Structure 1
Amino acid sequence: MNAAVQNLPTTGKAPAPMEVLIKGRIEASRRHDGTRYTRILTPAPDAYSRPQVLEVRSKQSLGQSGDEISVTARLGGFTRKAFRATDKETGEVTMVTPVDLTLDAVE
């Protein structure tokens, strides 16, 4: 349980707060109200796990379907409407506030 933490390779420059580097293949993209939404499939970490699927918003096209890309994105998010949830084991009722994350390409 106390596994050693691996150090990630450094590039000499510290990442900006709230920014992430995304590498993957473009699955699809769509345009809505002047914003481009690009769905990216990331490589699976190993042969037994699933790849992650992300959507990045941008002003410009990030590429064509099937292109391998690297893009820096700013992480954001917002809360949605709260709802009541009941614990099936205890019967306790709690309020749950869902949070949606967003990724906006740094352009």
Structure 2
Amino acid sequence: MIAKKDLPICPVATTVSLIGNKWKLLILRDILTGAKRFGELRKSLEGISQKVLTDSLREMESDGLLIRTVFPEVPPRVEYSLSELGETMRPILSAMESFGKDYKELAEKE
């Protein structure tokens, strides 16, 4: 979690600091449908590097948005899922999806 003293004053800025980059939003989009493994995320996020995906997942886990579950198997299996806090992002992403659909329809009419 971001330390209280490091949080922006503005609540919108706080949200942007948590999910305000392209990759984090797309990671959330993919995990909204259920737990995903690293490889699944990497395949669905065309253009993301392994380092950026790893760093984004670590940050989102640290911020309390994701849960990383390691299964004691050989080879080890790791899955990422939304935490309870991450689930609260669902309406935000739904609103973004609705806006995007509406915008695309408007653009197609022009």
Q: Which TM bucket (shorter chain)?
A: under 0.3
Instruction: Calculate the TM-score normalised by the size of structure 2.
Output: 0.24
Flag the structure with higher helix content.
2
Bigger Rg, structure 1 or 2: 1
Flag the structure with higher strand content.
1
Instruction: Calculate the TM-score normalised by the size of structure 1.
Output: 0.24
